[in-house]
Amino acid sequence: METRRIGSLTVSIVGLGCNNFGWGLQEAESARVIHAAIDAGITLFDTADIYGGTKSEVFLGRALAGRRRSVVIATKFGMKVDDRRQGAKPEYVRQAAEDSLRRLGTDHIDLYQLHTPDPTVPIADTLGALDDLVRAGKVREIGCSNFSAAQLADARAEAVKIESAPFVCVQNELSVLNREPEREVLPECERLGLAFLPYFPLASGLLTGKYTRGRPAPAGSRLSQEWASSRFMSDARMAIVERLTAFAGQQNHTLLELAISWLASKPSVSSVIAGATSPEQIRQNATAASWTLTRSDLAEIDRIAPPASR
């Protein structure tokens, strides 16, 4: 599988988002997905302390026992775990990191990411605490998530000012159905040399090809849940999905391959961290980045699913 860089880290172009572990999948099922990912050449595993009510990190750590040195573990902190654990104050950064290290059963986190900006804490304070973790060898690289272009620029300026480790990546929502980051965040990533990690790269499953307009979502799927269907599904989006599916089919490819290869075509994107609930989904995701889109392919995708206006 193709590899790319996140700071000093080398990662597979397709990664595994571990948000299903501990919620939709229990430990044995999670382990099967994780092991299938490794077998398929996936090296980046992205989780967070809040996933599965902290179980995702536990399940991931146990499944990677004996294989830790061959993978890159990314996790996140900052969103509410409970009433005592949330935010980006320096003392909590240190506590959250120790908690994640313990749950993951490892002595270091490869990529430690601030899950969401904390407006109550100066970014320099958070960066200083993260820099301490890097210097102590407990974290290799640091990143952020849900940051605007202005917040990325401010974080880099503060890192330079206080001589701390800088964020090397940002993780925001991006898919062929949600192209908002193309307006400001992706250009800022190129300017600063940041890697971009797209979450919801398949629009919560809408771009997998298993949903049809006018038919209910398959039982048990994420889009069968009201919160997901109201956020991701609409007649307008389904019309775009149908046209993208038809275009991909004309090129002897699937909608899934179009969705992942389109993201991989962007130089700033280092890994497409798609979730999966079965080994078969993992195998499909792992091979989906093999379509090298031509300029005419990209132009047709732009015609069907126009970029966000700048």
C-alpha radius of gyration, the chain, whole number: 19
Q: Which of 51, 92, 112, 199 is catalytic?
A: 51
**Phi, psi for residue 140 in degrees, rounded to 5:** -90, -45
- Catalytic (active site) residue 51: yes
Structure tokens at 173: 């929502």
Residue that is written with structure tokens 């080398």 in the block: 10
Q: Alpha helix (H) ranges present in 117-200?
A: 123-135, 149-162, 185-192
Residue whose C-alpha is closest to residue 58's, from 89, 95, 88, 31: 31
Euclidean distance between CA atoms 258 and 291, whole angstroms: 7
Question: 174 and 201 in contact (C-beta within 8 Å)?
Answer: yes
Q: Which residues contact 210 (CB under 8 A, 6 or more apart)?
A: 218, 221
Which amino acid, 294?
A: T
Burial of 140 (0-12, 13-18, 19+ CB in 10 A): buried
d(CA 171, CA 248): 27
Q: Would you please indicate which residues are annotated as catalytic (active-site) residues?
A: 51
